Amino acid sequence: MDDEPTTLQFLSRLLTDEGHEVDTVDKATEALEKVRDKRYKLILLDIKMPDMSGIELYEKLQKIAKSLTQRVLFITGDVMGARTAAFFSRTKAPYITKPFNIEQLKKEINNILSE
């Protein structure tokens, strides 16, 4: 989930080329609808979204199925603010920063999928 179309297309193509089945959304509300209907092995989640932050969506995922939060890899493109840093410190949720290294992204994805 990312609100930047180029990032969404790039990630979709990259993951599809790696053999993954990919669903994409650009709004958190759409992501919530999808996770209610289908269980995902991995959720790439942008921190800053226009309709709901990635942190807010993560908290909603906890209520739907706590196990989903163990499948989230955050993507952030901003300088990390105090609230975001505190969230990552508290949850230990994995994240990568934009622009991200493709090999690091693959490594983080494989770490989550191997659990």
pTM over 0.85: yes
Structural domain including 61 reads 5-113
Written as one letter, the residue type at 43 is I
Count of the separate structural domains present in the chain: 1
CATH number of the domain at 92, please. Answer: 3.40.50.2300
Residue 93 has what pLDDT? 93
Residue 48 has what pLDDT? 86
Residue 79 has what pLDDT? 65
Q: If the chain, 115 residues long, is cut into consecutive pieces of 10 residues, what is the mean pLDDT of each piece?
A: 89 93 91 88 90 91 88 83 89 89 92 89
In terms of C-beta density within 10 A (0-12 exposed, 13-18 middle, 19 or more buried), how is residue 18 classed?
A: exposed
Contact 56, 48 (CB under 8 A): no
Q: CA angle 3-50-74, nearest 5°?
A: 55
In terms of C-beta density within 10 A (0-12 exposed, 13-18 middle, 19 or more buried), how is residue 102 classed?
A: exposed
Q: Name the phi and psi angles at 16, rounded to 5.
A: -65, -45
